Amino acid sequence: MSDALADTAPTPPMARLRGDLTQGPILKTLLAFSIPTLISNLLQTLNGTINSIWVGRLIGNSALAATANVNIVMFLTMAAVFGFGMATTVRVGQHFGARDVPAARATFGTGVGFCLIISVVVGLLGWRLSGPLLDALGTPGESRGEALDYLTVTFLTLPLGTLSIMVAMGLRGVGNSKLPLYAMILTVAIDVAMNPLLIRGIGPIPALGITGSALSTATANFAGCVAMIGWIYWKDLPLRLRGAELGWLWPRRNELAYVITKGLPMGAQMLVVSSAGVVMVRLVNHEGAATAAAYGAAMQLWNYLQMPAFAIASGVSAMVAQNIGAGQHERVKDITWQGLVSTTIFTISMATLMVVFARAPLVLFLGSHSPALPIASHMQAIVTWSYALTGIMMILSGTMRAYGAVITPLVVIFISLYPVRLGFYYAAYHWIGSEALWWAYPVGSAVSVALMVGAYMRPGWREKVLLRGKK
What is the length of the chain? 471
> What are the backbone angles phi and psi of residue 238, rounded to the nearest 5°?
-55, -30
pLDDT for position 394: 94
Residues 6+ apart with CB under 8 A from 169: 85, 86, 88, 89
Which helix (H) or strand (E) covers residue 414, if one does?
helix 407-415
Q: Rounded CA gap, 456 and 402, in Å?
A: 13
Name residues of the chain where pLDDT drops below 70: 1-17, 51-73, 75-77, 136-143, 467-471
DSSP 358-390: -HHHHHHHH-TT-THHHHHHHHHHHHTTHHHHH
CA 323 to chain centre: 23
pLDDT for position 181: 95
- String of b and e for 12-43 (b: at least 16 CB within 10 Å)? eeeeebebbbbbeebeebbbbbbbbbbbbbeb
Q: Rounded CA gap, 239 and 217, in Å?
A: 26
pLDDT for position 171: 94
Q: Rounded CA gap, 313 and 187, in Å?
A: 24
pLDDT for position 13: 44
**Which among 428, 437, 439 is positioned nearest to 288, based on CA atoms?**
437
Distances, alpha carbon 164 to alpha carbons 39, 81, 156, 228, 269, in Å: 17, 11, 15, 8, 22
Q: Rounded CA gap, 416 and 418, in Å?
A: 6
CA 198 to chain centre: 28
Q: Rounded CA gap, 110 and 253, in Å?
A: 9
- String of b and e for 302-320 (b: at least 16 CB within 10 Å)? beebbbbbbbbbbbbbbbb
146, 209 contact by CB (below 8 A) = yes
284, 433 contact by CB (below 8 A) = no
Query: What's the pTM value of the predicted model, to 2 decimals?
Result: 0.85
Span 279-318, pLDDT tens digits: 887 888 788 878 888 887 788 788 888 999 999 999 999 9
Q: Rounded CA gap, 181 and 278, in Å?
A: 30
Side chain identity at residue 240, one-letter code = R
> What are the backbone angles phi and psi of residue 62, rounded to the nearest 5°?
-65, -40
**Which among 349, 360, 409 is positioned nearest to 384, based on CA atoms?**
349
Centre a 10 Å sphere on the Cβ of residue 342 and count the other Cβ atoms it contains.
21
pLDDT for position 373: 86
Which helix (H) or strand (E) covers residue 321, if one does?
helix 289-325
Q: In this structure, is the dihedral angle defined by the CA atoms of residues 89, 95, 99 and 103, taken in order, positive or negative?
A: negative
Q: Rounded CA gap, 45 and 51, in Å?
A: 10
pLDDT for position 65: 57
CA 17 to chain centre: 27
pLDDT for position 67: 62
DSSP 72-135: HHHHHHHHHHHHHHHHHHHHHHHHHHTT-HHHHHHHHHHHHHHHHHHHHHHHHHHHHHHHHHHH
